[in-house]
């Protein structure tokens, strides 16, 4: 989604920099650019009938309410909330019960208002923080990503330092992280694809402002998900001028695995609640989305790949409302696909992938280094002869080396010692027992 024209309604602030069209007004607060709270209903960027409907549904959900209480739940300033209440009172949907403060009042819904609220709830059951417009969400996301400082090769190397990677793998990962292009990880199972992908999330430093939800005509799409988004520390100082419809979160890292279905990549409509939940890749905007175990989903891999072709090319995704209407939504994230299936991607898709890393099985030198590093991390250094003996056993049983197995074998050693209440000391006997427990006895297969 491209926005290039300057928004004439944005306050000039040299700290903000160039602004795209539809970007909300911004101020600097504690050294951070933040969206400004609206002063009037029109400044919310939302059609006022949508706001009136939301306020009326909230008012009808309780016996009585105050302006302060409603403003808190709608995440709107008191002045905007009181203006909306005043109009609903003029329409005889609300009745004033008295003052609750100098400029605020107590209200309750009239019978007419409750009847209207019931009709509104049959269309949309959403009651909560007021939405922002889809255009404002797209512009805010685009502007924030443009402000992020790209990670350096040293940043990526530090994040991936727990892994012993093949030559060049770290450089390719750095290119993907700095450019924001997608990354395709492939190779046999157990060689660090998932570990590399999740560690890449540490490379994406910084915070983002995201809305609780966005509005498309009369439809509400929920963006913020406490299961996916981690709130950033609160800004220092008074925050009264910040638009509370936006939340400041750490850049998200969202993982989907073999349970992913095609339906989950579109809007989820709740027939009981009558509003939409954004799909996981939309919640990952501005961060990282990992599709793990790609090719093992309950859908054809080619069909799933075709689903990503337009978003990867245009940084836009098209989602479908329950009415069949298509909407455009930003697709601005680091997409990582990890697979151990050699024939999971066709050439047309691979041409659109930014970078690829082959996570192959380790050679003996890398395996030994992985073993030593993990042993040191759990406080039990291992002598070289024990590692050499282990490698010989792989050859004897004609087993392929895998990068995950040093950790797995050492964890079995720790389990055995824990069960016996013994101090963990790696010996040949302990490794033999861990080997049998992990691989089984080849003589009895």
Structure confidence by residue, pLDDT tens digits, 301-317? 677 777 888 888 889 99
pTM comes to 0.86
Closest CA to 76 of 97, 103, 91, 55: 55
What confidence tier does 295 reach under pLDDT thresholds 50, 70, 90?
Answer: low
In the predicted model, what is the mean pLDDT of residues 8-27? 64
Retrieve residue 302's tokens: 């080619």
* 348: phi then psi, degrees, rounded to nearest 5: -60, -40
- Is the per-residue pLDDT at 214 higher than 50? yes
Q: Do 305 and 346 contact (CB within 8 A), yes or no?
A: yes
- Strand ranges inside 180-274, DSSP E: 183-186, 207-211, 213-216, 219-222, 246-250, 253-256, 268-269
- Expressed in angstroms, the distance from the first to the final Cα of the chain is 57
Query: What is the largest distance, in Å, between two alpha-carbon atoms of the chain?
Result: 87
pLDDT digits (tens, 9 = 90+) for 397-426: 999 999 999 999 999 999 999 999 999 999
pLDDT digits (tens, 9 = 90+) for 231-283: 999 887 666 789 999 999 999 999 987 677 888 889 999 888 889 999 999 99
Q: What is the predicted pLDDT for the residue at 57?
A: 97
Q: What is the predicted pLDDT for the residue at 303?
A: 77
Q: Does domain 151-205+251-358 have CATH number 3.40.50.300?
A: yes
Domain ranges of the chain: 47-123, 151-205+251-358, 364-444
Give the C-alpha separation, 150 to 163, whole Å. Answer: 22
Percentage of the chain exceeding pLDDT 70: 90
107 SS3 class: strand
Give the C-alpha separation, 431 to 445, whole Å. Answer: 20
Q: What is the predicted pLDDT for the residue at 271?
A: 83
Q: Does domain 47-123 have CATH number 1.10.10.10?
A: yes
Residue whose token pair is 């209903």: 41
């Amino acid at each position: 989604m491209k926005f290039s024209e300057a928004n004439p309604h944005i306050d000039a602030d040299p700290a903000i920099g160039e602004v795209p069209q539809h970007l909300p007004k911004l101020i600097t607060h504690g050294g951070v650019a933040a969206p400004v709270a609206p002063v009037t209903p029109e400044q919310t960027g939302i059609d006022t009938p949508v706001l009136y409907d939301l306020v009326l549904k909230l008012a009808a959900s309780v016996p009585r309410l105050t302006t302060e209480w409603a403003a808190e739940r709608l995440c709107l300033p008191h002045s905007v909330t009181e203006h909306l209440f005043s109009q609903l009172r003029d329409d005889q949907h609300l009745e004033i019960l008295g003052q609750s403060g100098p400029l605020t009042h107590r209200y309750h819904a009239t019978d007419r208002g409750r009847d209207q609220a019931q009709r509104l709830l049959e269309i949309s059951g959403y009651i909560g923080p007021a939405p922002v417009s889809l255009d404002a969400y797209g512009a805010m996301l685009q502007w924030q990503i443009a402000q992020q400082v790209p990670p350096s090769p040293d940043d990526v190397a530090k994040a991936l330092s727990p892994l012993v990677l093949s030559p060049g793998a770290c450089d390719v990962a750095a290119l993907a992280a700095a450019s924001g292009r997608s990354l395709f990880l492939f190779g046999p199972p157990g060689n660090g694809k998932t570990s590399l992908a999740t560690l890449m999330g540490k490379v994406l430093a910084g915070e983002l402002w995201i809305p609780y939800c966005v509005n498309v005509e009369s439809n509400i799409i929920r963006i913020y998900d406490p299961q996916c988004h981690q709130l950033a520390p609160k800004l220092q100082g008074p925050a009264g001028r910040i638009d509370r419809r936006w939340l400041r979160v750490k850049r998200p890292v969202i993982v989907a695995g073999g349970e992913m279905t095609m339906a989950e990549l579109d809007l989820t409509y709740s027939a009981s609640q009558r509003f939409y939940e954004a799909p996981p890749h939309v919640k990952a905007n501005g961060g990282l989305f990992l599709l793990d175990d790609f090719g093992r989903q309950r859908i054809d891999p080619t069909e799933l790949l075709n689903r990503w072709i337009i978003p990867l090319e245009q940084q836009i995704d098209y989602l479908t409302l329950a009415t069949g209407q298509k909407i455009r939504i930003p697709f601005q994230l680091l997409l990582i696909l990890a697979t151990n299936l050699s024939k999971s991607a066709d050439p047309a898709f691979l041409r659109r992938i930014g970078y690829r890393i082959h996570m192959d099985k380790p050679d003996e030198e890398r395996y030994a280094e992985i073993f030593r590093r993990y042993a040191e991390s759990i406080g039990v250094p291992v002598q070289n002869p024990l590692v050499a003996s282990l490698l010989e056993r792989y050859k004897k049983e004609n087993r392929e080396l895998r990068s995950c197995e040093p950790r797995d074998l050492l964890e079995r050693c720790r389990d055995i010692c824990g069960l016996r209440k013994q101090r963990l000391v790696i010996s040949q006997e302990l490794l033999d027992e861990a080997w049998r427990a992990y691989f089984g006895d080849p003589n009895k297969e």
